[in-house]
Amino acid sequence: MHDNKKAKITSKIKTTKAIIAAVAIMTIVSSAAVVLGIQTQMLQHVFAQTNSSGNGTAASGGAASSKPVMVSPSQTTNKEFWINTVHLDGATSLHAAVANPLSAQNTPLHPAEVPPANSTIPTGGGFRIVLPNKVGSWDFRSFTFAPDQIVVNQGDKVTLHFIGVLGVHHIITVNGVGTFALHRGEIHTVSFIANNPGSIRFWCSLHLPNMVGEILVLPKSV
């Protein structure tokens, strides 16, 4: 009698454990199904947005996708450039925290600076130190071209428009093409065929050694 009661209790325990295990498995499966369903819906939503935009960007947020944009470079052999004559100015003053009405660059918080006693800048006119005026303002000037480097292909017809923006007077030479004067407000145009690969320099003889530019001619592809 005692053994039968013990067997019944053991059977009930096994049944209870089996039920608990089955419930646990069903819970795990249900949770996984829910998560998978949410992820699938999210992916479908993203794909729908990307496809509806038609250009590789999300329709709602405008974020770029990882798909690269294909660009077809121009195949023209006529190359045209506009080159400005400019100078860079580092304006400063002998006095600290004093506004300079002659220069918007020199704010009241600018520290005091004194021109170098023994200048190390090269000669040639390309660099210039403008000595202090009556209110103590002075600056350091550097002449240049903008842009100062151009890239073309062998065989291109190259047209250069030189624009006199800053600097009263320039004498500009394009190597192998010619020399001409350029004043403020003027535009001088030169054209040539870049027959040979290599480098063609252009410069202003009044503002050397830094007012120099270069045209890089790439060789034809075989």
List, for residues 180-210, the tens digit of each pLDDT value: 999 999 999 999 999 999 999 999 999 999 9
Closest CA to 155 of 197, 189, 190: 197
Higher pLDDT, 159 or 99: 159
List, for residues 103-128, the tens digit of each pLDDT value: 555 555 678 888 888 888 898 999 99
The stretch 155-169 carries a mean pLDDT of: 97
The stretch 135-140 carries a mean pLDDT of: 84
The CA R_g of the chain, rounded to the nearest whole Å, is: 38
Report the distance separating Cα 138 and Cα 18, nearest Å.
Answer: 93
Q: What is the pLDDT of residue 36?
A: 44
| Average of per-residue pLDDT values in the chain | 78
Report the distance separating Cα 56 and Cα 46, nearest Å.
Answer: 11
Cα Dmax for the chain: 126
Report the distance separating Cα 211 and Cα 88, nearest Å.
Answer: 11
Buried/exposed code over 3-25 (b: 16+ C-beta within 10 A; e: otherwise) = eeeeeeeeeeeeeeeeeeeeeee
- How many percent of the chain have pLDDT more than 70? 64
Higher pLDDT, 136 or 213: 213
List, for residues 35-88, the tens digit of each pLDDT value: 445 444 544 544 444 444 444 444 445 555 689 999 988 889 999 999 999 999
CATH code of domain 78-218: 2.60.40.420
**What is the signed CA dihedral for 113, 118, 120, 124, rounded to 10 degrees?**
100
Domain locations in the chain as residue ranges: 1-67, 78-218
Q: What is the pLDDT of residue 191?
A: 98
**Tokens standing for 151?**
């890239």
